[in-house]
Amino acid sequence: MKKGINTICTHVGEIHDEKFKGAVSPLYMSTSYAFDDVDIKRYPRYFNTPNQMALSQKIAALEHAEAAMIFGSGMAAISTSLLAFLKAGDHIVLQKTLYGGTYNFVNEEFSKYGIAYDFTDGLDPQDFEAKIKENTKVIFIETPSNPLLTITDLDAIAKIAKKHGLVSMIDNTFASPVNQNPIDFGIEVVIHSATKYMGGHSDICAGAVASTEVNMERIFQLAKNLGGSLSDYTVWLLERSIKTMGIRVKAQNANAQHLAAYLDAHSEIERVYYPGLPNHPGHELAKTQMNGFGGMMSFELNADYDASEFQKALQLIKSTMSLAGVESTVLSPTQTSHALIGPEERKNQGISDGLIRFSVGIEEPEDLIADIEQALQKVKRGSIATTH
């Protein structure tokens, strides 16, 4: 029977505690299991302990996939998935605006393995098709992207991949499975940094991949050799976190929409990038492929403000790396996530030094607005004399 999102979050994959009839999945911490008279040889690095398998079922259900696997980090999930489908002599087409870690993995490592790659010039489907070569095997996208929340057309990319016999992969972290299910649009491999919305409390580092049984078997064959599994204790914590993912993310969607509209109308704010705003270039497309517009946005202050002074003046909203926790946070992509790609590539991607990325939490929106207002007042240039 097909279940709704909050029911999947709460129940799918749970381990029934037959012995004590407890309400939640028991935690099995064994790293050693019987090898005689058993169906499965269990071992944490084989991704098949009871808790790992239970959580994998939940993630597969969340992404409308046949199967899934949990990894020790988002980058373990991304690197293993990419290398499972690429070998020396192959080529991959990647979206130009990607998470900094993925961009660095490709740029720093692929030449060692003899894998060729091209980043697209733009984000239109034809920009992807233009880069496809004879030896292209994979097409990799990220939507909404970091930090400008650009939207890539899932349906069009899936069709291009099928036409050319390529495996399509998506980093679905920013949307979370609550807001976007790329498999429904024909994308084959869906990857998450579970450190973000799945964990949701800024206290778990994990990754996940969902796809067909056949694709997951191929990813597993490499994963067991690379060894990027997640400890069962963290798997168990992640199961607990995901129980509230539906309600958390929906609250974050609502807060972000409210905050985006407020910032967009604000005289001191130059620009807001949020796919839920009608003026966002990806808004119409987002409406066709997302169930909600997400909790992430970016904005630029006008010339009267220094972005880093503003961030320091915030009291409730913390300046921290990372995103997607229940607490609201801001960061400067230039100083953090996109520091390593350098000024030229940042300019190419449209990331200004004053850009502030905002991960909206579940606090009351009025309190977030009050915090932004007090920080704006405190740091406006030339306002010192008039401040009491």
Ligand X SMILES: *Cc1c(COP(=O)(O)O)cnc(C)c1O
Active-site residue 99, yes or no? yes
Q: What is the total residue count of the chain?
A: 388
79 forms part of the interface with ligand X (CB under 6 A): no
- Among 25-33, 73-81, 226-234, 247-255, which window interacts with ligand X (CB under 6 A)? 73-81
Closest to ligand X by CB, 47 vs 174, is 174
150 forms part of the interface with ligand X (CB under 6 A): no
Closest to ligand X by CB, 101 vs 125, is 101
Query: What SS3 state is found at 17?
Result: coil
316-375 residues near ligand X, rule: CB under 6 A: none
170 forms part of the interface with ligand X (CB under 6 A): no
Quick check: 2 and 62 in contact, CB under 8 A? no
205 forms part of the interface with ligand X (CB under 6 A): yes
The two structure tokens encoding residue 260:
């985006």
Active-site residue 381, yes or no? no
What are φ and ψ of residue 95, in 5° steps? -60, 145
What are φ and ψ of residue 174, in 5° steps? -65, -35
Nearest to 99 by CA among 240, 179, 213, 207: 207
Closest to ligand X by CB, 98 vs 317, is 98
Active-site residue 196, yes or no? yes
144 forms part of the interface with ligand X (CB under 6 A): no
The two structure tokens encoding residue 152:
């890539």
Question: Which residues make Cβ contacts (< 8 Å) with residue 126, sequence separation at least 6?
Answer: none
- Among 46-54, 81-89, 170-178, 350-358, which window interacts with ligand X (CB under 6 A)? 170-178
Query: What SS3 state is found at 168?
Result: strand
- Among 14-22, 72-80, 175-183, 229-237, which window interacts with ligand X (CB under 6 A)? 72-80
Query: What SS3 state is found at 202?
Result: coil
Closest to ligand X by CB, 198 vs 260, is 198
* Residue of minimal Cβ distance to ligand X: 74
User: Which strand ranges, in their side-by-side order, compose the sheet holding 136-142?
Assistant: 67-71, 207-211, 189-193, 167-171, 136-142, 91-94, 116-119
- Among 58-66, 129-137, 189-197, 224-232, which window interacts with ligand X (CB under 6 A)? 189-197
Query: What SS3 state is found at 92?
Result: strand
196 forms part of the interface with ligand X (CB under 6 A): yes
146 forms part of the interface with ligand X (CB under 6 A): yes
Nearest to 195 by CA among 320, 66, 17, 61: 320
Quick check: 121 and 127 in contact, CB under 8 A? yes
193 forms part of the interface with ligand X (CB under 6 A): yes
Nearest to 55 by CA among 3, 2, 22, 12: 12
- Of 28, 33, 43, 45, catalytic: 45
Q: Can you tell me which of 47, 140, 174, 220 binds ligand X, judged by CB under 6 A?
A: 174
The two structure tokens encoding residue 96:
């130009």
Active-site residue 248, yes or no? no
DSSP string, 45-89: GGT-SHHHHHHHHHHHHHTT-SEEEEESSHHHHHHHHHHHS--TT
CA–CA distance, 9 with 59 (Å, rounded to integer):
9
Nearest to 128 by CA among 100, 87, 90, 169: 169
Query: Could you tell me the smallest distance in angstroms from the CB atom of residue 230 to ligand X?
Result: 11
Query: Could you tell me the smallest distance in angstroms from the CB atom of residue 30 to ligand X?
Result: 25
- Of 42, 99, 250, 305, catalytic: 99
Query: Could you tell me the smallest distance in angstroms from the CB atom of residue 236 to ligand X?
Result: 18
- Of 58, 131, 196, 250, catalytic: 196
Quick check: 87 and 135 in contact, CB under 8 A? no
Closest to ligand X by CB, 80 vs 380, is 80
Q: Can you tell me which of 195, 202, 211, 234 binds ligand X, judged by CB under 6 A?
A: 195
User: How many residues belong to the site for ligand X (CB under 6 A)?
Assistant: 14
- Of 90, 153, 171, 264, catalytic: 171
Contact residues toward ligand X (CB under 6 A) are: 73-75, 99, 101, 146, 171, 173-174, 193, 195-196, 205, 207
Residues tagged active-site: 45, 99, 171, 196
